């Protein structure tokens, strides 16, 4: 159920474009050094206004992985499918839903964490090819993103079906 939900659903939300692309594009074979990432900060509510605001769980560089890993077993035990809306994160519990916002263009997608990574120093999340495509970062390879934790009931309510591109 979770795999089908993550696979067939995405949400595009408009958020003010902030940030910029960093560094050179990564590749599927760029995964050799051990991960050294920032310790994530939990989301907290801001109390200085009446509006309900949250702080991001993390802000940093995202990369993506695709065909080289397609079909290989993930940390959750399921085979990696580059067309599912999934991601690798070093510390979040497997099965956690994360809203990822591309800070350059404001595009947003909700992914399910099903793997560990990234293994390239300085990156906070590795997205599946499909998630990278939704965020329009498949050509840049890496991009500054914002991560927000999303509860499963909120995820189901927020998402709408998106047809899988062949």
Give pLDDT tens digits along the chain (166 positions): 443 333 333 332 222 232 333 333 344 444 433 344 445 544 444 344 444 556 789 999 999 999 999 999 999 999 999 999 999 999 999 999 999 999 999 999 999 999 999 989 999 999 999 999 999 998 889 999 999 999 875 555 555 444 444 4
**pLDDT for 119:** 84
- pTM attached to this predicted model: 0.63
Q: Each residue of 113-128: pLDDT tens digit?
A: 999 999 899 999 999 9
Tally of helices (H runs) and strands (E runs) in the chain: 3, 8
**pLDDT for 151:** 84
**pLDDT for 35:** 40
Residues 12-38 as b or e (16 or more Cβ within 10 Å = b) = eeeeeeebebeeeebeeebbeeebebe
Q: 54 forms bridges with which residues in the sheet?
A: 45
**Cβ-contact 80, 127 below 8 angstroms:** no
d(CA 109, CA 130): 10
């Amino acid at each position: 159920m979770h795999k089908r939900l993550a696979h067939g659903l995405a949400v595009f939300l408009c958020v003010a474009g902030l940030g910029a692309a960093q560094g050179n594009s990564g590749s599927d074979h760029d995964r050799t050094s051990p991960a050294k990432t920032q310790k994530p900060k939990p989301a907290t509510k801001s109390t200085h206004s009446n509006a309900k605001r949250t702080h991001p769980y993390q802000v940093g560089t995202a990369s993506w992985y695709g065909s080289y890993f397609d079909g290989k077993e993930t940390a959750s035990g399921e085979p990696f499918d580059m067309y599912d809306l999934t991601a690798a994160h070093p510390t979040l519990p497997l099965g956690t839903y994360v809203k990822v916002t591309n800070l350059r263009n404001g595009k947003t997608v909700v992914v399910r964490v099903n793997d560990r990574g990234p293994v390239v120093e300085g990156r906070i999340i590795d997205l599946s090819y499909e998630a990278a495509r939704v965020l329009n970062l498949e050509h840049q390879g890496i991009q500054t993103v914002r991560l927000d934790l999303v509860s499963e009931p909120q995820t189901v309510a927020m998402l709408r079906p998106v047809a899988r591109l062949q």
